[in-house]
Amino acid sequence: MFAVKSGALVSGGYILVVDDEPAICDMIQTCLELAGFKVRLSANGALAHQMIINDRPDLVILDWMMPMMSGLELTRRLKREDATADLPVIMLTARTEEDDRINGLESGADDYISKPFSPRELVARVRAVLRRTNALVDDVPLTVGQLSLDRSAQTAAIAGQAISLGPLEYRLLEFFVLHQNRVFSRGQLLDRVWGGNVYVDERTVDVHIRRLRKALAPEQQDEMIQTVRGAGYRFSPVDSSAKES
């Protein structure tokens, strides 16, 4: 379970904000702290570099335009040095300029926000990136309850017992595990699991859901995958639904 919903960071680490404009820094710090994150500031690129190497913050928010060392330069250096390979970075770009955006993303930033931005947007982006990367960090043991996935091997196991899944079933399961407690329509699943422009009967999803359920059923409590009538499906392992009639 990721503590992301409440805003707290899993590792108890902090978010590093690298920007030389005090006003922006202030605003970001306030927003993020209100949202429950720990924040540290740095106005100096080189210094930030040190902090990153030493502390390994959970996330870096980086201004693209800075006097000493540009944000772009910094991300490039970080990605190159590789020690911080999977450090999530959000870039602050000056304005909605295509060029900046592209550069930022190419140099390894995970997301970008163009100034000016709303506090809500900031927090949303931060959460989104953390959610993504938290899920990705532990590339090997992706586990929830009795269920564990091995992403590199594309296999799943329940209580240590490997279960056999077709490729599609596996991807479906992985997608669900990465997006727990959310309802996805059949269309969305076709988009994101099947992979885009497919002309496939939406009912096909049902069939694969069924297979997945069948594979998951023997051990764990049944209702890992719940049907949301008229809407789609939802994966939530700790199901604690109150029954009444």
- Residue ranges that bind its own copies, judged by CB under 8 A: 1-3, 5, 86, 96, 101-102, 105, 108-110, 116-118, 120-121, 123-124, 127-128, 132, 135-136, 138-139, 141, 150, 152-155, 161-164, 166-167, 181-183, 187-188, 191, 196, 214-215, 218, 228-231, 234, 236, 240-244
Q: Is the Cβ of residue 16 or residue 35 nearer to its own copies in the bound state?
A: 35
Told to check if 196 binds DNA by CB under 7 A, we report: no
Among 23, 67, 203, 242, binds DNA (CB under 7 A): 203
Could you tell which of DNA, its own copies, none binds residue 201, using a CB distance below 5 to 8 A set by kind?
DNA
Question: Of these, 53, 159, 231, 238, which contacts DNA (CB under 7 A)?
Answer: 231
Which positions from 115 to 144 touch DNA by CB under 7 A, shown as an x/- string?
A: ------------------------------
Q: What is the dihedral of CA 240, 215, 235, 178, to 10 degrees?
A: 130
Query: How large is the angle between the packed helices 167-178 and 203-216, nearest 10 degrees?
Result: 80
Q: Is 187 exposed, middle or buried (0-12, 13-18, 19+ CB in 10 A)?
A: exposed
Is residue 216 within 8 Å of 206, Cβ to Cβ? no
Instruction: Compute the C-alpha angle 76/124/111, nearest 5°.
Output: 20
Respond yes or no on whether the N-terminal peptide bond of residue 141 is cis (omega within 30° of 0): no
**Residues sharing a CB contact under 8 Å with residue 123, sequence separation 6 or more, in sequence order:** 31, 32, 35
Stretch that binds DNA, among 68-76, 114-122, 148-156, 223-231 (CB under 7 A): 223-231
Question: Does 209 sit near DNA (CB under 7 A)?
Answer: yes
Is the CB of 32 or the CB of 189 nearer to DNA? 189
**Can residue 210 be called a binding residue for DNA (CB under 7 A)?**
yes
Q: What are phi and psi of 57, to 5 degrees?
A: -65, 165
